[in-house]
Structure 1
Amino acid sequence: MSTPGKKVAVITGASQGIGAALVRAYRELGYAVVATSRGIAPSQDADIVTVQGDIADPATAERVIAAGLERFGRVDTLVNNAGAFVAKPFIEYTQEDYDAVNGVNLGGFFRITQLAVEQMLRQEGGHVVQITTSLVDHANSAVPSVLASLTKGGLQSATKSLAIEYATRGIRSNAVSPGTVKTPMHPEEYHGTLAALHPVGRMGEISDIVDAVLYLENAPFVTGEILHVDGGQSAGH
């Protein structure tokens, strides 16, 4: 059985890469975790509940938060990590691309965050973190990405809006804005090209993003922050 009274983190896009590393990191902090993604496998850890589903579907959000409350009775942190990225010239995006990216990046944020914040208000405290992209603040002609900017840019604005709306009610809202990170999403043969996009001359590591989320988790005076972890990209070239 899980330990009662533990803090609880909900993590989307949790089956691989940054999401899977965040699950491990929050468990090491002593949190119980509700982990969701389309293909996530069950966990042997009594303090991890896994929920399979497409986060673009509001019904998945309902199931994820319900599972957390049923098993652990609370929700303290939500990390909106699930993301879809399609890089194409603007005029080549299809309606399917638009629907898919909006569904995950905006739809996947919207309902689960409403439900999490509702519970956090009952508890009089909580923390919401979005994972965005440095391309929002630093467009690059070598990486055409209007859909990423449209959706993740919306998340960055929503991050600040949430922070201010709930600032007096104990709920913080922050975002981490990564550069390109070594995850299964990026085949190794492209690593050299991707490294060169960053002023520091290398890609980010998954641990760089996890460390940034954990900093925000443990920073009670920080809210409405967009923390760039992007090898200098947002500063310039």
Structure 2
Amino acid sequence: MSQSPKVIVVTGASQGIGAETVKAFRKLGHNVVATSRSIKPSDDPNLVTVAGDIADPATARRVIDTAVARFGRVDTLVNNAGIFVAKPFTQYTAEDYATITGINLAGFFHITQLAIAEMEKHERGHVVSITTTLVDHAIDGVPSVLASLTKGGLAAATRSLAIEYAKRGIRANAVSPGIIKSPMHAPETHAALGALHPVGHMGEMSDIVNAIVYLDSAPFVTGEILHVDGGQSAGH
């Protein structure tokens, strides 16, 4: 168990990277509040789940209020919830735009604002967000304008938050993944997707979780966009 348990909030926590992040922080002995639309109740007294749409401000309020009521504070927020829709730019619909910006941007904004307000009370905290390496390195054949528009916004906001709160004990960082083996990608696509990386294969969910855990344990690191992308952002 960790010497000093933290209170960690994880969004998009019912499957994939989010679920693995919850497991990793619990293994380290931290208390976790996990949220997603479909998350199930928890039998673990140190893991509380809150079901809801992260794009809804009311969900953000319930998550943060639950963390404070159950564990007394919020130490770390992991903004993992996100959606990626690969379509040619002119084929995105108004519904696509509303859904993607709702989850990727509003979902970040509302809960981060509330979490930082709690962190300020204790003069310490950390926000780590998940972006995408497509922000820095677009790939021919992988249409990603709305991903870049929204996740690129998170990368820029991460740097701004880091500077705004640097002297208040609150850090902000991001992890920028390549294409990761997760429930999002069918096994038959793995070879083709792996070939899009200079290292020749996809990443594992553990690669991203390890990066999140590292950033959370690195008090001198803030404003960092940590690329975990098999070399994609470096070039071809």
TM superposition score normalised by structure 1: 0.97
Q: 2:129 matched to which residue of 1?
A: 130
**CA RMSD, Structure 1 to Structure 2 (Å):** 0.7
Q: Measure how far apart 1:142 and its partner are.
A: 1.4
- What do residues 79-129 of structure 1 show as CA deviations (whole Å, max 9, x unaligned)? 000001000110000000000000000000001000000000001100000
Instruction: For structure 2, list consecutive stretches of 5 or more residues without a partner in the other structure.
Output: none
**Identity value in percent:** 71
Query: Which amino acid in the other structure matches residue 28 of structure 1?
Result: K
Distance 1:153 1:88 in 2: 17
Query: Which amino acid in the other structure matches residue 80 of structure 2?
Result: N
Distance 2:55 2:223 in 1: 24
Distance 1:235 1:183 in 2: 23
Query: Which amino acid in the other structure matches residue 134 of structure 2?
Result: L
2:154 corresponds to 1:174: no
Q: Measure how far apart 1:29 and its partner are.
A: 1.6
Query: Which amino acid in the other structure matches residue 201 of structure 1?
Result: G
Query: Which amino acid in the other structure matches residue 109 of structure 1?
Result: F
Distance 1:173 1:30 in 2: 22
1:63 is paired with a residue whose SS is helix
2:203 is paired with a residue whose SS is coil
Q: Measure how far apart 1:6 and its partner are.
A: 3.7
Write the mapping of 1:15-34 to structure 2, written as runs, cut at 5 A. Answer: 15-34=14-33
2:51 corresponds to 1:49: no
Regions of 4+ moved over 4 Å: none
Distance 1:190 1:57 in 2: 33
- What do residues 164-216 of structure 1 show as CA deviations (whole Å, max 9, x unaligned)? 00000000000000000000011111111100010000000000000101110
Q: 1:78 matched to which residue of 2?
A: 77
Tell me the matched-pair count.
Answer: 233
Write the mapping of 1:157-172 to structure 2, written as runs, cut at 5 A. Answer: 157-172=156-171
Q: 2:153 matched to which residue of 1?
A: 154
Write the mapping of 1:103-142 to structure 2, written as runs, cut at 5 A. Answer: 103-142=102-141
TM superposition score normalised by structure 2: 0.98
Distance 1:185 1:57 in 2: 23
Distance 1:6 1:86 in 2: 37
